[in-house]
Amino acid sequence: MKRSRAVVLAALVSASVPAGASAQETFPLGVSPTSAPPPAGIQLLAGGIALSVFGTFSFIAVPICQSAIVIPEEQGACVTTSVAVGVPVTVAGVSLIVVGAIERAHYNKWMRDHPAFRGLGFGTSSHGGSLTWGVSF
């Protein structure tokens, strides 16, 4: 008999909670404990820029390959290698930049939707790491 009362009580309690309750209604400052921030995209942007620069330098080497610095027998192989390395590295770099920019846009939207994390930062000092939170009012 007690078990059926507990089931009825649980059903009544769950029915009284609105189904459309959002995270902002349930948690203070709209921060859900299960809401982890998405990737910021900074690593992808940095990697993409580095690869793009490396690929560009590989293309810059093509005129050097055709100059008197490289012996004539090796000039064709030098140009082929520079282009064969430069094209895929540059394409990979540009792709990483695009994906990093998309991730950064998602991260910025997440930050706008979670105001409690705005101003949150990490720092280092001579005594170790520190967590900072800047607020303006």
* Domains of the chain, residue spans: 39-114
The string of pLDDT tens digits covering residues 58-111 is 988 888 888 888 888 988 998 999 999 999 999 999 999 999 999 999 988 887
The C-alpha angle 107, 108, 110, rounded to 5 degrees, equals: 65
pLDDT for the residue 2: 52
**SS3 assignment, position 130:** strand
Question: Mean per-residue pLDDT for 33-40?
Answer: 71
Taking the whole predicted model, whether its pTM rises above 0.85 is answered as no
Q: CB-based contacts of 31: which residues, under 8 Å, 6+ apart?
A: 23, 114, 116, 117
pLDDT for the residue 125: 74
